[in-house]
Amino acid sequence: METTRITGERIKEYLEKGKRFDGRKPEEFREISVETGVSKKAEGSARVKIGKTEVIVGVKLNVTEPYPDSPNKGNLMVTSELLPLSSGRFEYGPPRFPAIELGRLIDRAIRESKFIQLEKLCIKEGEKVWGVFIDIYSINDDGNLIDAAGLGAIIALKTAKLPEYDEKNEKVIYGKLTNKKVPVSKEIPIVVTTHKIGDGIIVDPTIEEEDVSEARITVGGSVEGSLFSIQKGKSKEITIEDFNKILDVSEKTRKKVFSSIEKSLK
């Protein structure tokens, strides 16, 4: 059942005093836990839990033709599935908007930040390049799947290694990983979504808070201060003041989130 209107009023009321139901401050994230190498057939994989929200992200590589407009760069494709397993609200069938949006949000943050050094994934210009697939799956939705997905993607990429490539027979030998890591840049894109509930601004909503949120802004940026991707979601308008505050909150939170997952990025 969706969060009831009266509970929503309480959430707003409480937030006006700067408090949240689970005792967190408005700019506080739930506990983040990270596990890498959770799917051995993937060239890189990660399980990220933010509170009870859980996602699994896998990186697969293949050797293929480059896209015509980038003959000397590797390919990148990010997909996301909101598995019916993870919530009674997700129905079986082709991906609907929320799943599509999530994939595209993470895609933009990774692509625009040039986190993956695609030029280094060229094998033979115009003919053969490495293709990188990032597949995101929700395992339990208790709010904020977007940010969990973003973390899962960068951690899976950071730990991903290239499989052996038999050039003569033009075959990838899966199961045999080289020691070559997928080339990634030092500047890491962190995705943080900020929500507006009543007059309050929070990060990392639980599913209850997400239900009553009126507007959200997803920002992909680095701790060095660059912003790569922004998307406003949901139907309520926000003032410029709100927006500026949101940018500040994103920046602060991004740094905190980064330090809590730094270990997994080594």
Which residues of this chain interact with other proteins, rule CB under 8 A?
A: 1, 4-7, 9-10, 13-14, 19, 21, 38-42, 45, 52, 56, 58-60, 62, 79, 81, 83-88, 92, 94-95, 133, 135, 137, 139-142, 174-175
| Bridge partner residues of 75 (DSSP) | 131
Select 41 or 168, whichever has its Cβ closest to other proteins. 41
In the bound state with other proteins, the residue whose beta carbon lies nearer, of 44 and 221, is 44
Strand partners, 60: 133
Task: Please identify, using beta-carbon distances, which residue of 21 and 67 lies nearer to other proteins.
Answer: 21
Residue type, 225: G
- For the bound state, the minimum distance from the C-beta of residue 106 to other proteins, rounded and expressed in Å, comes to 15
- 152/221 with CB nearer other proteins: 152
The answer to whether 154 touches 265, Cβ cutoff 8 Å, is yes
- Measured from the CB atom, the residue of 13 and 119 that comes closer to other proteins is 13
CA distance 181 to 224: 23
Distance set, CA 123 to CA 130, 131, 151, 230, 248 (Å): 7, 11, 28, 33, 42
Nearest to 63 by CA among 163, 157, 160, 159: 163
* Beta carbon of residue 257, minimum distance to other proteins (angstroms, whole number): 22
Distance of closest approach, residue 108 Cβ to other proteins, in angstroms: 19
Q: Which is nearer to other proteins, 40 or 263 (CB)?
A: 40
Going by their DSSP bridges, the two strands 128-140 and 75-81 should be labelled as parallel
Minimal CA–CA distance to 190: which of 134, 251, 263? 251
